Amino acid sequence: MNVRQLISGSDLRGVALGGSANLTCDVAYRVGEAFTAMLAAEGKKPKITIGRDPRVTGEALESAFGEGACHAGAEVIVFGLCTTPAMFESIQSIPGVDAAVMVTASHLPAERNGLKFFLPQGGIGHDVLNRIVELSESDSNFEHAGGSISHQAFLSTYTEMLKKSLRNRIGSNAEKPLSGLHIVVDAGNGSGGFYATLLSDLGADTTGSQFLEPDGTFPNHIPNPENETAMAAIQQAVLNSHADLGVIFDTDCDRAAIVDSAGREINRNRLIALISAILLKEQPGATIVTDSVTSSGLAEFIQSHGGVHDRYRRGYRNVIDRAQLLASQGKCCPLAIETSGHAALAENAYLDDGMYLVTRLIAQAILMKVKGESLSGLIADLREPVESAEVRLAITDKDFRKTGEAVLAHLTETAPAQPGWHVAPDNAEGIRVSCDVCGMKNAGWFLLRLSLHDPVLPINIESDIKGGNTAIARALYEQIASLPGINTEPLKQYFSKEVM
Tell me the per-residue pLDDT of 355-388, one tens digit each, with 9 for 90 and over: 999 999 999 999 999 999 999 999 999 999 999 9
**What was the pLDDT predicted at 498?**
59
Fold of 4-153: Alpha-D-Glucose-1,6-Bisphosphate; Chain A, domain 3 (3.40.120)
Closest CA to 274 of 242, 246, 301, 311: 301
Helix ranges, 149-306 (H) = 155-170, 194-201, 228-241, 268-282, 296-304
- In this model, does residue 458 exceed pLDDT 70? yes
CA gap 316, 250 in Å, rounded: 15
Cα–Cα distance between 275 and 278 in angstroms, integer? Answer: 5
Helix (H, G, I), strand (E, B) or coil at 29: helix
Higher pLDDT, 61 or 454: 61
| Single-letter code of the amino acid located at 423 | V
Tell me how far the alpha carbon of residue 454 is from its chain's centroid: 17
Q: What is the pLDDT of residue 140?
A: 81
Answer yes or no: is pLDDT of 401 > 50: yes
pLDDT digits (tens, 9 = 90+) for 115-134: 999 999 888 988 999 999 99
Residue extent(s) of CATH 3.30.310.50 domains in the chain: 387-498
- For the chain, the straight-line distance linking the first and the last C-alpha, in angstroms and rounded, comes to 51
Report the share of the chain in percent with pLDDT over 70: 99
Sheet with strand 183-186: strands edge to edge: 183-186, 245-249, 256-260, 265-266
Q: What is the largest CA-CA distance in the chain?
A: 73
Does the pLDDT of residue 144 top 80, yes or no? no
Exactly one of 106, 136, 209, 241 is catalytic; name it: 106
The whole-angstrom distance between residue 323's C-alpha and the CA centroid of its chain comes to 15
Q: State how far the Cα of 390 lies from the Cα of 480, in Å rounded to an integer.
A: 16
Tell me whether residue 275 is exposed, middle or buried, using C-beta atoms within 10 angstroms of its C-beta: 0 to 12, 13 to 18, 19 or more. buried
Angle (nearest 5°) at CA 69 between 65 and 74 = 145
Do 57 and 166 contact (CB within 8 A), yes or no? no
* Contact residues for 396 (Cβ-Cβ < 8 A; gap 6+): 455, 485, 486, 487
Sequential DSSP letters for 199-234: HHHTT-B-TT-B--S--TT--SS-S-TT-HHHHHHH
Where do you find CATH 3.40.120.10 in the chain?
Answer: 4-153, 158-379
State whether residue 388 is helix, strand or coil.
strand
Residue 164 makes CB contacts below 8 A (sequence gap 6+) with: none
Q: Which CATH class is domain 387-498?
A: alpha beta
| Mean per-residue pLDDT over the chain, rounded | 94
pTM > 0.85: yes or no: yes
- Are residues 102 and 87 in contact, defined by beta-carbon separation less than 8 angstroms? yes
Cβ atoms 276, 283 nearer than 8 A: no
What's the mean pLDDT in 423-433? 90
Identify whether the C-beta of residue 476 lies closer than 8 Å to the C-beta of residue 470.
no
For residue 6, is pLDDT > 70?
Answer: yes
pLDDT reading at 500 higher than 50: no
Residue 126 is predicted with a pLDDT of 87
Domain 158-379: CATH superfamily, name plus number = Alpha-D-Glucose-1,6-Bisphosphate, subunit A, domain 3 (3.40.120.10)
> Is 499's pLDDT higher than 60?
no
pLDDT at 233: 98
Give residue 140's region: left, alpha or beta (phi > 0; psi -120 to 50): beta
Cβ distance 435 to 420 under 8 Å?
yes
Query: Quick check: 476 pLDDT over 60?
Result: yes
* Residue length of the chain: 500
Q: Considering only CA atoms, which of 215, 211, 206, 209 is closest in space to residue 188?
A: 211
Contact assessment for residue 238 and residue 205, using Cβ atoms and an 8 Å cutoff: no
Tell me: the pLDDT tens digits for 300-357?
Answer: 999 999 999 999 998 888 999 999 999 999 999 999 999 999 999 999 989 999 999 9
Told to judge if 261 belongs to the known catalytic residues of this protein, a careful annotator would answer no
What pLDDT does residue 9 have? 82
Nearest to 64 by CA among 78, 44, 75: 78
Q: Smallest Cα–Cα separation from 96: which of 78, 75, 82?
A: 75
- Contact between residue 44 and residue 117 where contact means Cβ atoms under 8 Å apart: no
Closest CA to 383 of 442, 271, 296: 296
Q: What angle do CA 136, 137, 143 make, to 5 degrees?
A: 55
